[in-house]
Structure 1
Amino acid sequence: MRIGIDIRALQKGFRAHKARGIGRYTSMLIKSLLELDQRDQYLFLVEQGELPSIESDPDKFSYIEINTHWPIKAPYWQRTFGQHILLPIFLAKLELDFIHFCSHLDAPSFSPKKTLVTVMDIIPIVLQDLYNRKNSSMRFTAGRFLEARAIRNAKKIIAISQQTRRDLVQFLKIDPDKIVVIYPGIDTCFRPVKDPATICAVRARYGIEGRYFLYLGGIDERKNVDRLIQAFAELIKEPEWSNYCLVCAGEIENDAQFPQLTAQIRHRGIDHKIRLLGYVADEDLPALFSAAEFFVYTSLYEGFGLPVLEAMACGTPVVCSHAPGIAEIAGEAAILFDPYSTESLMNSIKTLLIGPELRQTLIQQGLKQATHFSWDKTAQKTLELYLAIYSESYK
């Protein structure tokens, strides 16, 4: 097979994907596929410019450089025209059996080649009221229309959770037979770190002292970080919890909500109790997870919620939202709370802090739950889907 895979998510600056879930998914998927598949030819679509580094035998793949730059000044429409007009024209010239877009957000609404799209979630469609009020109505409507078309026109769809599959069927009326659920995996680097020197070095690197709760992720409204700050501020008013800190990791400094977040922290007078680390290198995350008292994830909605599993794989107890997608992958290995209730979040945290036996139970259950998700399994099931698409083409 000649398999095209869109890996633009690995290029710095491309829609901010690289440091987020889409970038991690793309990186780990192609790495695992190249290790697994010794037969097929992989052609990776990239934008012209600096090529992403791929740790694999260069004989196993090649790059195809594309140019979707539309010569107009308006950034939104420049990207939109490039994706939905220039990209299909370019794809028509390629000799490929099909193209896998690792995010449906990057796929064209029409393609002259067979496409497979991975859908992480369709949250802007599911939570339209939340996202529509933050964007121009015309741009939002146009964006969702093109997004839905890219999904509907795909030959097959990978949903990263059962919840995402249900959303596709319910909101976009996608034929369930077109959708295959393939869970992402967990990088093998995520495991308990027990070496004190390693943990001390990471603490020193990021200026972390004492006992802390950890949050990893973005800060847009859906992530519900405001409620986490509120709950933490109330919690540390009680003497028995006053020595704890909250550590927030994630590349958030350029987010539109960042000034509002820092203002809220200052207003509550807890800026000395919260560490905003910014981007944390992958090699430091296992130690950061392992040293935390617990990991907290407050999102209102997720297609999957990978940080929950990464924390579990590191032996860190998890307190997380019972929102769709998150509860699905957490199983019975976490304490779940109502993300719309500050009291529910506080009570869940206290339940964990006062229960050493519960903490140990969650650690063991979390380590077991994490073993169900591996990139080897993800790559194997994805390759099986590739073969199915290829076979259908030549029946």
Structure 2
Amino acid sequence: MIAMWDVDFSLALRNRTGKYFIGRDIIRDNADRIASVRYGRFRRAPGSELRAPDGLRRSLIERGSDAEIALRQRLPSGVAGLRARRPVLHLDPYTVRLYRTGPRDLVLCHDMGPLTHRELFDDRVCRLYDEAYRQIAETKPGMVFVSRASRDAYVELFGPLPRMEVIYPPLRPELAAAAPAPVEEVRAPFLLTVGSIGRRKNQAAAIRAFAASGLAQRGYRYVLCGAREPGADEVARLAAATEGVVLLSYVSDAQLSWLYRNAAGFVLVSLLEGFGVPVAEAIAAGLVPLVARDSVLEEVAGDGAFSADPLDEAEIARMMRQLVELEPEPRAARQAALARSIARFTPTAFRDNWSAALAPAMAGIDA
């Protein structure tokens, strides 16, 4: 088969969250269609694509790419950008600023947060993504979104593109295969939140809601785990000062599997999500989640989830109590509905959909 795509995986230099795993799986599943993987102006040869540069080389590539993008902020879209012989798959929209993009290229969008929720991001990040999306609107590459919510947000801001599709991320098979390993700091019963710790995920409001719920006095704990991002310091201070709250650092897949299997319920009332993989993971482990109302998390979970206004801490507290007090029969009905919803997120569906997205015809090449 013809190797017809170059892939820009620059996000791997600074990101090890869900974005990284999605990009990694796309490259692994479609290796026969990928000619090279780029990290800024650094290119990996076929067969070594997923070994991102590290150490000094990584630092130099990051700084060089940042400087080049900063320069392009003063230039019209695409001027003097990298010109690739093959179509380029961008695994994050910001890298389009390094290239001369066109209709043969393809851009993966994880969320529209820097434009729809500017208050949650640094001004420089908002400007960068604003310029990237304007370049996309002007040069019209194809776009793949991880949710309908992100696609609709793009269309509302910039209008439709000739090629737009939604491909949901898969549940990670590594997590399903991991043998559960207990977390020493945690004792049941507990509610669980998984996701980057910071303002965007709204854990501070969830902690205050847990305190107001009275569940700590009934013996419940509230366990949170995830990487740190802006706003994590406030969450850490609240966690330390609130009875029953356990804020974990990094946990392994084995420990995460144990947490999912032993929690009394799952809570994620984010202000912004691109998709919300932890909600799907929790459902797969048999948990009923409490999610942010009118968000992509409802798109992921479906009708079986509880929901609350993420800005209403009293409602979050009330729904936390309902979550732990759920009787067996209605719990089973919700679990059945939730299981049907996440049947969309299989590795097979992800692999097949991306294979179709990267087919020769989509790259403008005769098969």
TM range (shorter): 0.7 to 0.9
Distance 1:339 1:59 in 2: 44
Task: Give the superposition deviation at 1:258.
Answer: 2.6
Distance 1:191 1:64 in 2: 26
Distance 1:95 1:76 in 2: 23
Partner of 1:263: 237
Asked whether the equivalents of residues 110 and 150 of structure 1 are also in contact (C-alpha less than 8 Å), the reply is no
Q: Percent identity?
A: 18
| 1:19-168 alignment, distance < 5 Å | 20-34=17-31, 40-46=33-39, 69=60, 77=67, 80-81=70-71, 91-92=82-83, 94-96=84-86, 98-108=87-97, 110-111=99-100, 114-128=104-118, 130-131=119-120, 135-136=122-123, 139=124, 142-152=127-137, 153-168=139-154
Instruction: Provide the secondary structure at the position in 2 that maps to 1:44.
Output: strand
Using a 3 Å threshold, how does the CA distance of structure 1 residues 314 and 140 change in structure 2: closer, same or farther? closer
TM-score normalised per structure 2: 0.83
Asked whether the equivalents of residues 290 and 319 of structure 2 are also in contact (C-alpha less than 8 Å), the reply is yes
Distance 1:30 1:307 in 2: 22
Consecutive unaligned residues of structure 2, counting only runs of 5 or more, are: none
| 1:172-251 alignment, distance < 5 Å | 172-175=158-161, 177-191=162-176, 199=180, 201-204=181-184, 207-236=185-214, 239=217, 241=218, 243-251=219-227
Distance 2:101 2:255 in 1: 43
Instruction: Provide the secondary structure at the position in 2 that maps to 1:148.
Output: helix
Using a 3 Å threshold, how does the CA distance of structure 1 residues 244 and 71 change in structure 2: closer, same or farther? closer
Task: Give the superposition deviation at 1:63.
Answer: 8.0
Task: Give the superposition deviation at 1:324.
Answer: 2.2
Partner of 1:55: none
Using a 3 Å threshold, how does the CA distance of structure 1 residues 29 and 394 change in structure 2: closer, same or farther? closer
Distance 1:4 1:50 in 2: 9
Instruction: Provide the secondary structure at the position in 2 that maps to 1:23.
Output: helix
What are the Cα deviations for residues 119-176 of structure 1, in whole angstroms up to 9, with x where unaligned? 1111121123x24xx645xx4663243221343235210011111111111012233x
Distance 1:71 1:226 in 2: 32
TM-score normalised per structure 1: 0.78
Using a 3 Å threshold, how does the CA distance of structure 1 residues 322 and 46 change in structure 2: closer, same or farther? same
Task: Give the superposition deviation at 1:332.
Answer: 1.3
Using a 3 Å threshold, how does the CA distance of structure 1 residues 234 and 155 change in structure 2: closer, same or farther? same
Partner of 1:7: 9
Asked whether the equivalents of residues 119 and 157 of structure 1 are also in contact (C-alpha less than 8 Å), the reply is yes
| 1:349-360 alignment, distance < 5 Å | 349-357=320-328, 358-360=330-332
Distance 2:140 2:343 in 1: 31
Using a 3 Å threshold, how does the CA distance of structure 1 residues 208 and 340 change in structure 2: closer, same or farther? same
Using a 3 Å threshold, how does the CA distance of structure 1 residues 341 and 101 change in structure 2: closer, same or farther? same
Asked whether the equivalents of residues 290 and 306 of structure 2 are also in contact (C-alpha less than 8 Å), the reply is yes
One-letter identity of the residue aligned with 2:238: Q
Partner of 2:349: 377
Using a 3 Å threshold, how does the CA distance of structure 1 residues 159 and 238 change in structure 2: closer, same or farther? closer
Task: Give the superposition deviation at 1:40.
Answer: 3.2
Asked whether the equivalents of residues 94 and 128 of structure 2 are also in contact (C-alpha less than 8 Å), the reply is no
Task: Give the superposition deviation at 1:391.
Answer: 5.7
Using a 3 Å threshold, how does the CA distance of structure 1 residues 248 and 150 change in structure 2: closer, same or farther? farther
Asked whether the equivalents of residues 223 and 247 of structure 2 are also in contact (C-alpha less than 8 Å), the reply is yes
Instruction: Indicate whether 1:291 and 2:291 are aligned.
Output: no
Using a 3 Å threshold, how does the CA distance of structure 1 residues 279 and 361 change in structure 2: closer, same or farther? same
Using a 3 Å threshold, how does the CA distance of structure 1 residues 384 and 238 change in structure 2: closer, same or farther? closer
One-letter identity of the residue aligned with 2:151: R
Using a 3 Å threshold, how does the CA distance of structure 1 residues 84 and 5 change in structure 2: closer, same or farther? farther
| 1:241-390 alignment, distance < 5 Å | 241=218, 243-252=219-228, 255-266=229-240, 268-270=241-243, 273-357=244-328, 358-387=330-359, 389-390=361-362
Asked whether the equivalents of residues 224 and 248 of structure 2 are also in contact (C-alpha less than 8 Å), the reply is yes
Distance 1:168 1:71 in 2: 27
Distance 1:352 1:127 in 2: 29
Asked whether the equivalents of residues 303 and 324 of structure 1 are also in contact (C-alpha less than 8 Å), the reply is no
Instruction: Provide the secondary structure at the position in 1 that maps to 2:97.
Output: coil
One-letter identity of the residue aligned with 2:225: A
Distance 1:258 1:285 in 2: 20
Q: What is the total number of aligned residue pairs between the two structures?
A: 357
What are the Cα deviations for residues 84-118 of structure 1, in whole angstroms up to 9, with x where unaligned? 99x996843x542x111111123326426742100
